[in-house]
Amino acid sequence: TPGHIRSIRKARGVAPILAQQSIRENARTGRTPQEVMDDAMWGVFQEGWRDGFGADADHLKTTADADVTAAAGYTFFTVDPGDHVDDEAHTASLPDLERKFAALPWADLDSSPADLRARFLGSTFELEDRQLQFDEESLLRAAAKYSRAVTHAARMYRHLDSMLDRPWELEVSVDETATPTSHLEHLYIVSEMRRLGVRWVSLAPRYVGSFEKGVDYIGDLDELRADLAGHAAIARAFGPYKLSLHSGSDKFSVYPIAVE
């Protein structure tokens, strides 16, 4: 924390997140969310930092995770519904997709197969320099793959909203999955979250290529550029909200593309 504060002291308009660790990292290092927050606070006192700062409770998977981080004073919550993403739907045959689609938790979605088709099929979504349209197969694939993740994110959002009496922000992260998030799937996720009343400030899709910790991006940079451009267009049209690049440290080849 002291190093972070010294690096931004002369900057203007920076709102640093000084306490940030995931529940998984806490478990591996033997720390608690409260200890992470306390360590950040001592760094703030040591450096005489008088401006505000944030605290990110990263990759929360359960309401119990939300409870313990909220009690420690966190203000930013990254919900990770990745366990509820059906990666098999990415390559499943059409008959398998139809079975997966029929078995979705329609009560939790507050919808029906007919209503979902009516919302998406036959519509053209205008996004700056491009248009997106679902056909039957792409809609079934997006719904089968991500609907349970959407309902879990909505459940986590409602839980946090019911318990917090202070300003807070939400990120939804689906980056730790086996298959990339297509632009149509991104559009499906945010359309359904918005319909279910979720309010978020940041989304982390699963981009093409590979983002591994401590090394540069692994993959085709031109393909990533096109992928990021499409995701950014959706974020501007349906938000605006931020796009998050998880495991973004040391991705020196990616930074110029992200700025674009």
Q: Which residues are catalytic?
A: 58, 171
Three-state DSSP string of 80-147: CCHHHCCHHHHCCCHHHHHHHHHCCCHHHHCCCHHHHHHHHECCCEEECCEEECECHHHHHHHHHHHH
Rg (CA), the chain: 19
Q: Which amino acid is at 35?
A: E
Q: Could you write out the DSSP letters of every residue in 12-45?
A: SS---EEEEEEHHHHHHHT--HHHHHHHHHHHHH
